[in-house]
């Protein structure tokens, strides 16, 4: 659950955008901000939202982001003609609902903020976003995760060499770049993963890396996660989904718990969806972000809600890099 687009402006109403009252928040003002940003090409055309699937969730027991705030997302996106699916009636507290992991659904479960609500939110959301025909993981049996998880250098992924992008035969250049910027990450203790691509020799990591260096003033942690399902490694062109963790849910707080336990990986493996998990690092120095949140109030830049915002532009570059890697996988099979 979270507030709608540009609710907090540049930090003036951040508390209201979490705690309300919702009557103080103008959906029309947010609509105006979107229209203005689109007019000046600070964001893409709003026509892209029409008929686009949007999923909005809020638990009825949420005291961190009041339900009345989160439901404003439906009002805002409906004004632009989106295909909105809502989930506002679950007896859940603030957290990510699953059907097999976490604390009690109606309690605030620190430090992981994952609630066992007998409901697979990752599937329900992705199924709506991808057209309604995704295969659903069986909660009574373990989905075999035969793909590859990587830790990746977030700055590296945001600064892909031009020679790599423009090369007609990038295999040799790409192999060197991957070895420098990616680490295979074991999903099971003691099991070292392997990757047979361009005869790469990639370092393995059997446990979470301890590096917690900020990658830039954007607030990004040094490393993020990305999961390539087995079919996407073997040469299939795959969709890409970006999963943003909540406040205090990054790897510097809870390691890989959100990445591995929220339910994304199982849905991704069954449906050939690459999932990128970018990571934010908490900071009590400039830019101040004491709880490790993604920027919804302007701590990283006054342009945080536009395509020029360092986090938004960084994620777009990560997507482009992952697409390039997946295309290379397709090209060698």
Per-residue pLDDT reduced to its tens digit, 203-218: 555 444 444 555 566 8
Query: In whole angstroms, what is the distance from residue 252 CA to residue 270 CA?
Result: 29
Look at residue 199 in the predicted model and tell me its pLDDT. Answer: 46
233 in a domain, yes or no?
yes
Domain range spanning residue 220?
143-333
204 in a domain, yes or no?
yes
Look at residue 11 in the predicted model and tell me its pLDDT. Answer: 61
Burial of 106 from C-beta contacts in 10 A (0-12 / 13-18 / 19+):
middle
Closest by Cα among 290, 280, 298 to 216: 280
Both tokens of residue 213?
A: 């260096």
Our count of domains for the chain comes to 1
Residue 138: helix, strand or coil by DSSP?
Answer: coil
Residues of the chain with pLDDT under 50: 189-192, 194, 198-202, 206-211
Taking residue 284's Cβ as centre, other Cβ atoms within 10 Å add up to 7
Look at residue 270 in the predicted model and tell me its pLDDT. Answer: 98
Look at residue 191 in the predicted model and tell me its pLDDT. Answer: 42
Is the separation of the CB atoms in 287 and 304 below 8 Å?
A: no
Look at residue 208 in the predicted model and tell me its pLDDT. Answer: 43
53 in a domain, yes or no?
no
Query: In whole angstroms, what is the distance from residue 303 CA to residue 326 CA?
Result: 30
Is the separation of the CB atoms in 220 and 292 below 8 Å?
A: no
Q: What's the full length of the chain, in residues?
A: 333
């Amino acid at each position: 659950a979270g507030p709608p687009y540009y609710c907090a402006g540049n930090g003036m109403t951040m508390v209201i955008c979490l705690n309300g009252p919702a009557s103080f928040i103008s959906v029309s003002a947010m609509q105006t901000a979107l229209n203005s940003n689109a007019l000046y090409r600070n964001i893409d055309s709003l026509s892209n939202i029409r008929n686009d699937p949007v999923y909005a969730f809020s638990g009825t027991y949420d005291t961190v982001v009041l339900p009345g705030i989160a439901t404003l997302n439906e009002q805002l996106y409906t004004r632009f003609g989106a295909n909105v699916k809502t989930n506002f009636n679950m007896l859940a507290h603030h957290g990510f609902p699953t059907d097999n992991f976490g604390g009690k659904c109606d309690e605030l479960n620190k430090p992981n903020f994952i609630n066992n609500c007998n409901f697979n939110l990752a599937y329900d959301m992705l199924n709506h976003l991808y057209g309604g025909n995704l295969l659903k993981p069986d909660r009574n049996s373990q989905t075999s995760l035969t793909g590859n998880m990587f830790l990746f250098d977030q700055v590296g992924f945001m600064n892909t060499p031009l020679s790599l992008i423009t090369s007609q035969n990038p295999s040799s250049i790409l192999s060197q770049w991957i070895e420098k910027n990616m680490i295979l990450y074991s999903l099971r203790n003691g099991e070292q993963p392997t990757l047979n691509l361009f005869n790469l020799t990639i370092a393995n990591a059997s446990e979470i890396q301890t590096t917690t260096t900020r990658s830039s003033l954007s607030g990004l942690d040094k490393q993020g996660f990305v999961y390539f399902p087995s079919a996407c490694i073997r040469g299939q062109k795959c969709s890409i989904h970006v999963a943003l963790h909540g406040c205090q849910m990054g790897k510097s707080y809870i390691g890989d718990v959100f990445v591995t336990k929220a339910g994304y990986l199982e849905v991704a493996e069954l449906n050939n969806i690459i999932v990128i998990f970018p990571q934010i690092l908490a900071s009590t120095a400039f830019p101040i972000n004491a709880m490790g949140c993604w920027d919804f109030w302007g701590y990283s830049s006054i342009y945080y809600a536009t395509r020029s915002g360092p986090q938004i532009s960084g994620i777009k570059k990560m997507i482009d890099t992952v697409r390039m890697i997946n295309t290379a996988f397709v090209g060698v099979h």
